[in-house]
Amino acid sequence: MDFALTDIQRDIQNAAREFAEKEFPNVARECDEKEEFPMELWKKACELGFVGVFIKEEYGGAGLGYTEAAILMEEFWRVDPGCGNLLLTSFGTEIIQQFGTEEQKKKYLGLIPSGKAIMGCGITEPNAGSDVFMASTTAVKDGDEYFINGSKTFITNGTIADVILVFCITDPNTEERFGKHSFIIVETDRRGFEATKIKGKMGIRASDTAELSFNDVRVPIKNLVGDAEGYGFKQVMHLFNLNRLLATAQAIGAAQGAFEKAVTHINKRIQFGKPIASFQGVQFMIAEMATKIEVGRNMLYKACWLIDKGIFDPKAISIAKLFAGEASIAVINDAVQLHGGYGYIAEYGVEHFYRDAKIVEIYEGTREIEKITIAREILGR
């Protein structure tokens, strides 16, 4: 076992930290208030090679692993989760990279790190959240095309994406529960596609979220991901596992960011004639916060290490995400508490973490779905 980051990982961490600290504060507050995606920031991030680092070099990416992707996400979320989610402009590439045809990989993957396109992935529907198999959007074959009908909700990058992977029913009649769905690649300039921004999110408000509707949207059958229909289940599980790692990194990054702000504040803030950091009750809080972050980060890196070694362990991933999500919220709650009234005011830069971090317990599998996954892996049921 080696717990040290490699030189390359350390360089990535430093570069990401420097970029986020320099660039995010210029736009973060405004993007949060106006609920705007930081388009210029995303372009700069692409130019510096931060987006889609796990895309293989032969398809235009950096060919790095999930440990590196997680380090980047953690550093971005440490400064501002809303802006940090610009890294999710590669959302869905994981499916094409693993299951797509050679033609699809060549056509779509390189567009993402270079900033030529944004991708999204539409699975959730109004009546299909945790139970993804309730997804009822249909893709019906008609000659050499599919025509797609249905709707999706809560889709990240929905109004800014150029390409969306859509989880559709391709075989409504199969008895096989896991063989009904497939992913279809939909370019968002196709007729019949509409995206409506969802406003009023609690946090990560710079991240674009939308409702999508598909009204007889026609795409060529070569837009089916892979060579055959009915592999949507396998593909969606693969995506969830990889993105749960990134969500875990988000939780740790947000906790770290709020924690550092709390440490600075308690060393400066004088009450009862001394810095509040000198009170043992406060020191105990700091020790507990640091412990939660450290344990969460260790579990994250272990889960990433396993994936990068080609070992697929859904239990390790779900344990990491479950723990980190809860730990993050607890740490940030204490960070706000340690700021007293200032913690409640946007200007002091800690309250947004409180709003932002909650999403980790909801997307990529809710807290309860992570528990179900862990128990299923243990009990084999």
Cite the active site residues.
Answer: 364
The region of 118-126, 248-256, 259-267, 301-309 touching ligand FAD under the rule CB under 6 A is 118-126
Number of H helices, E strands in the chain: 11, 9
Q: What part of residues 166-205 is at the interface with ligand FAD (CB under 6 A)?
A: 201
Euclidean distance between CA atoms 221 and 100, whole angstroms: 13
- Which among 202, 332, 203, 324 has a CA at the least distance from the CA of 255? 332
**Cβ within 8 Å of residue 271, ≥6 positions away:** none
Residue 331 lies near ligand FAD (rule: CB under 6 A): no
Q: What part of residues 209-268 is at the interface with ligand FAD (CB under 6 A)?
A: 209
User: Residue 248 CB, nearest distance to ligand FAD (Å)?
Assistant: 15
**Cβ within 8 Å of residue 200, ≥6 positions away:** 35
Parallel/antiparallel/unpaired status of strands 119-122 and 163-169: parallel
Among 154, 183, 240, 301, binds ligand FAD (CB under 6 A): 154
Specify the residue, 113 or 325, whose C-beta has the smaller distance to ligand FAD. Answer: 325
Is residue 334 within 8 A of residue 279, CB to CB? The reply is no
Residue 366 lies near ligand FAD (rule: CB under 6 A): yes
Among 9, 156, 248, 328, binds ligand FAD (CB under 6 A): 156
Is residue 118 within 8 A of residue 162, CB to CB? The reply is yes
User: Residue 148 CB, nearest distance to ligand FAD (Å)?
Assistant: 15
- 280-308 helix and 66-79 helix, angle to the nearest 10 degrees: 150
Q: Count residues binding ligand FAD (CB under 6 A).
A: 19
The region of 15-23, 108-116, 122-130, 286-294 touching ligand FAD under the rule CB under 6 A is 122-130
User: Residue 51 CB, nearest distance to ligand FAD (Å)?
Assistant: 16
Instruction: Tell me the residue number closest to ligand FAD, measured at CB.
Output: 129
Residue 363 lies near ligand FAD (rule: CB under 6 A): yes
Specify the residue, 155 or 276, whose C-beta has the smaller distance to ligand FAD. Answer: 155
Specify the residue, 331 or 369, whose C-beta has the smaller distance to ligand FAD. Answer: 369
Euclidean distance between CA atoms 51 and 16, whole angstroms: 11
Burial class (CB in 10 A: 0-12, 13-18, 19+), 280: exposed
The separation between the first and the last C-alpha atoms of the chain, rounded to the nearest angstrom, is: 31
Among 60, 122, 253, 349, binds ligand FAD (CB under 6 A): 122
CB atoms closer than 10 angstroms to residue 230: 16
User: Residue 135 CB, nearest distance to ligand FAD (Å)?
Assistant: 9
Residue with tokens 């400066």: 268
Residue 11 lies near ligand FAD (rule: CB under 6 A): no
User: Residue 123 CB, nearest distance to ligand FAD (Å)?
Assistant: 3
Residue 136 lies near ligand FAD (rule: CB under 6 A): no
H helix runs in 218-313, sequence order: 232-268, 280-308
Residue 329 lies near ligand FAD (rule: CB under 6 A): no
Euclidean distance between CA atoms 64 and 58, whole angstroms: 12
**Encoding tokens for residue 256?**
């770290």
User: Residue 359 CB, nearest distance to ligand FAD (Å)?
Assistant: 5
Residue 37 lies near ligand FAD (rule: CB under 6 A): no
Among 359, 360, 373, 374, binds ligand FAD (CB under 6 A): 359
Burial class (CB in 10 A: 0-12, 13-18, 19+), 293: buried
Residue 129 lies near ligand FAD (rule: CB under 6 A): yes
Among 6, 26, 130, 271, binds ligand FAD (CB under 6 A): 130
Residue 77 lies near ligand FAD (rule: CB under 6 A): no
Give me the residues that bind ligand FAD (CB under 6 A), please: 91, 120-124, 129-130, 154-156, 201, 209, 359, 362-363, 366, 368-369
